[in-house]
């Protein structure tokens, strides 16, 4: 093979800036989506444990459906097909935003929230039942016992799986390139098609993705060692 | 809520969604999705087994090297792996490789890394007494692995493997990116041709994927209960 390596393409100049802007979009997309997925996941998890049957069934259906459908299909659905079923106001709002980015955030949020809800639920289930009984018998309502007694403990246990979901979300955000969100993968493709330096462009993107993944994994290890262990020992 | 949904488009292209242009052309759609997933699953089972065994090897450099490979692949998005294969395979083996094999290679590489973690966890989950007993009856390390540890570990891994298959079915949708005409690609083609029914088309294929994946998810849960039951006796 007589391939001529030219790393300067991706370490400086215009193409470097493209890649950097791609990293920015990837990080922004991941952070916005993880925050929203956490909130949505929390709501769905609470609904999933609701004593009221129809709510429970709805949450169960939501979880199963979004977990068992490919993210790419969900992204296409929100991007191409959501206008027929969304209220006009929501649609207009989405169009006024960066539409691709908004569709990607919606798809990533809904997909990830289904996984997060299950993590939160298993966190809650690991809290002894007596805690709930004690809370209820001292006069807290169901919602309030959740809010003040169960969730503060459960969320702490849920943080490692949550960080793991964040890791998956960050990697999944690369699918947003299919609808034209200019995140890292998209920019790497762009650099490749402009310069024919695919090896360099993909290497740069790989290094960034693996670097981000390792940092997130490191975060989890630190959390486990520094925060969770002393908590459990108490 | 501008327009009512009209699912006639799905009905019209139904065979296209399920088997592609077959018998007039190559197989596609759901059939190709399942084919890609099944073939990649078989290969990544083997890959995962090899990587998993290497990562519990007693030889330290081997263990570290395999861990490094596994962690790097796990740190990448699948899309990245697909692009790498799409780009590297022709450079390494010359052109002419069908796109479906690019996808199978990428899915195999990617899933092997995840499978190896399942294998490793499965091997670690077998009580140490078993290995000790095997070694003290005179079996070698290799024999112990092959006849004592792996048969038990693999049995416990079955539900996780089925779960991986579910992920694999979902992951085949990424084959769309290199132009393999599996279900998602077909949906896009139908959408491009008909223009007016994206909601109906993508809802339909979402339901098709859901039915396939949910069936296997339930199978995995059932297997898990059954295994737990037989272990309890």
**What average pLDDT does the structure give for chain A?**
91
DSSP bridge pairs for B20:
B27
The token duo for B71 is 């962690």
Domains of chain A, earliest start first:
8-233 (1.10.3720.10)
Give every CB contact of residue B84 below 8 A, 6+ residues apart in sequence.
Answer: A202, A206, B106
Number of other CB atoms surrounding residue A86 within 10 Å: 18
**Closest in B203, B209, B217 to A81, CB measured:** B203
User: Which residues in chain A are closer than 8 Å to B91, comparing Cβ atoms?
Assistant: 1, 3
**What average pLDDT does the structure give for chain B?**
92
Domains of chain B, earliest start first:
8-232 (1.10.3720.10)
pLDDT of B110 > 60? The answer is: yes
**Closest in B1, B79, B174 to A85, CB measured:** B1
The answer to whether residue B111 neighbours chain A at the CB level (below 8 Å) is no
Q: What is this model's ipTM?
A: 0.92
Using a CB cutoff of 8 Å and minimum separation of 24, what contacts does B188-197 make?
Answer: B188/A76, B190/B9, B190/B13, B190/B16, B190/B17, B191/A80, B194/B9, B196/B9, B197/B6, B197/B9
Task: Report pLDDT digits (tens) over A141-180.
Answer: 988 998 899 988 888 888 989 999 999 999 999 999 999 9
Residue A61: predicted pLDDT: 96
DSSP A63-117: HHHHHTS-HHHHHHIIIIIGGGTS-HHHHHHHHHS-HHHHHHHHHHHHHHHHHHH
Instruction: Measure A125 CA to nearest chain B CA, in Å.
Output: 18
Residue A234: predicted pLDDT: 54
Identify the three-state secondary structure at position A221.
Answer: helix
The token duo for B38 is 């099944």
Which secondary structure element, helix H or strand E, spans residue B113, and what is its range? helix B99-124
Instruction: Verify whether the Cβ–Cβ distance A70 to B171 is below 8 Å.
Output: yes
The token duo for B17 is 């969604």
Give the pLDDT band (50/70/90) at residue A80: very high
Residue A231: predicted pLDDT: 64
Give the pLDDT band (50/70/90) at residue A137: very high
User: Which residues in chain B are closer than 8 Å to A172, comparing Cβ atoms?
Assistant: 77
Instruction: Verify whether the Cβ–Cβ distance B199 to A177 is below 8 Å.
Output: no
Residue B127's Cβ-count burial label (10 Å; 0-12, 13-18, 19+) is exposed
CA–CA distance, A132 with B219 (Å, rounded to integer): 33
The answer to whether residue B5 neighbours chain A at the CB level (below 8 Å) is yes
DSSP bridge pairs for B27:
B20
């Amino acid at each position: 093979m007589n391939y001529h390596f030219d790393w300067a393409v991706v370490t400086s100049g215009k193409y470097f800036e493209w890649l950097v802007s791609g990293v920015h979009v990837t990080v922004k997309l991941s952070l916005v989506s993880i925050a929203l997925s956490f909130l949505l996941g929390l709501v769905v998890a609470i609904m999933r444990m609701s004593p009221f049957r129809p709510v429970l069934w709805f949450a169960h259906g939501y979880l199963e459906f979004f977990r068992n459908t490919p993210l790419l299909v969900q992204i296409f659905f929100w991007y191409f097909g959501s206008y027929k079923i969304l209220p006009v106001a929501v649609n207009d709002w989405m169009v006024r935003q960066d539409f691709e980015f908004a569709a990607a955030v919606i798809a990533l949020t809904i997909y990830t929230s289904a996984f997060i809800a299950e993590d939160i639920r298993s966190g809650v289930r690991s809290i002894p039942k007596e805690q709930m009984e004690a809370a209820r018998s001292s006069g807290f309502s169901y919602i309030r016992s959740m809010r003040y007694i169960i969730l503060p403990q459960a969320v702490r246990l849920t943080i490692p799986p949550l960080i793991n979901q964040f890791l998956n979300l960050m990697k999944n955000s690369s699918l947003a390139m299919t609808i034209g969100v200019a995140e890292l993968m998209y920019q790497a493709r762009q650099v490749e098609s402009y310069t024919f330096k695919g090896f360099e462009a993909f290497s740069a993107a790989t290094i960034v993705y693996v670097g981000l993944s390792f940092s997130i994994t490191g975060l989890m290890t630190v959390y486990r060692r520094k925060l969770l262990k002393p908590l459990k020992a108490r | 809520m501008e327009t009512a949904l009209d699912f006639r488009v799905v009905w019209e292209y139904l065979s296209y969604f399920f088997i592609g242009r077959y018998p007039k052309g190559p197989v596609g759609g759901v059939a190709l999705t399942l084919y890609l997933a099944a073939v990649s699953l078989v290969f990544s089972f083997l890959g995962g087994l090899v990587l998993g065994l290497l990562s519990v090897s007693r030889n330290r450099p081997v263990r570290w090297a395999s861990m490094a490979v596994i962690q790097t692949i796990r740190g990448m998005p699948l899309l990245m792996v697909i692009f790498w294969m799409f780009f590297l395979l022709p450079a390494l083996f010359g052109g002419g490789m069908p796109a479906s094999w690019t996808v199978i290679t990428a899915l195999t590489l990617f899933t092997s890394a995840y499978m190896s973690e399942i294998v490793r966890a499965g091997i670690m989950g077998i009580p140490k007494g078993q290995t000790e007993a095997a070694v003290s009856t005179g079996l070698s390390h290799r024999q112990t692995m092959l006849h004592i540890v792996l048969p038990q570990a693999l049995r416990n891994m079955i539900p996780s493997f089925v779960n991986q298959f579910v992920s694999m079915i979902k992951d085949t949708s990424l084959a769309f990116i290199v132009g393999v005409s599996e279900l998602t690609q077909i949906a896009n083609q139908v959408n491009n041709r008909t223009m007016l029914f994206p909601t109906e088309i993508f809802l339909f294929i979402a339901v098709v994927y859901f039915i396939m994946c949910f069936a296997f998810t339930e199978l995995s849960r059932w297997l898990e209960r059954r295994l737990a039951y037989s272990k309890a006796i």
